[in-house]
Amino acid sequence: MHAAAHAVSGRGMIPGEILFADDPVSFNEGREVTRLTVLNAADRPVQVGSHYHFAEANPGLEFDRGAAHGKRLNIAAGTAVRFEPGIPVDVELVPLAGKRIVPGLRGETGGALDA
């Protein structure tokens, strides 16, 4: 709520206050979704960030990498999913957007996804 709105509502502004909207925030709405089951076959937890090219995720993760090509996790920006050893996790993936260029990472793509 803007300071002017506080004045109209009769409430004083509280520094650092976080005001949430009434409606939920949707993201990736209308995007094609791919669902995969991922198993961490490694002996340590693995974490994958929101915008990482999922097909190039840690080799200790077992899943259909072909189906994951050009996609990222369908989660909020700046967040991640943690995969614990031996526990299968169902994830949703959405296509990477923008120019669809994947830099370095693990070196499996290293350029344009659609070339």
Tens of pLDDT, residue by residue, the chain (115 residues): 555 555 556 677 789 888 888 888 788 888 999 999 999 999 999 999 999 999 999 999 999 999 999 999 999 999 999 999 999 999 999 999 888 888 867 777 777 888 7
Model pTM? Answer: 0.76
- Under the phi-then-psi rule, with left for phi > 0, alpha for psi from -120 to 50, and beta for the rest, what region is 48? beta
Residue 109: per-residue pLDDT: 78
Rounded-to-10 torsion of CA 106, 56, 88, 93: 150
DSSP-derived 3-state class of residue 47 = strand
User: In the chain, what is the straight-line distance between the N-terminal and C-terminal CA atoms, in Å?
Assistant: 46
For the record, the structure tokens of 50 come out as 């929101």
Residue 2: per-residue pLDDT: 56
β-strand pairing of 111-112 with 101-102 = antiparallel
CATH of domain 30-112: 2.10.150.10
Q: What angle do CA 108, 77, 92 make, to 5 degrees?
A: 65
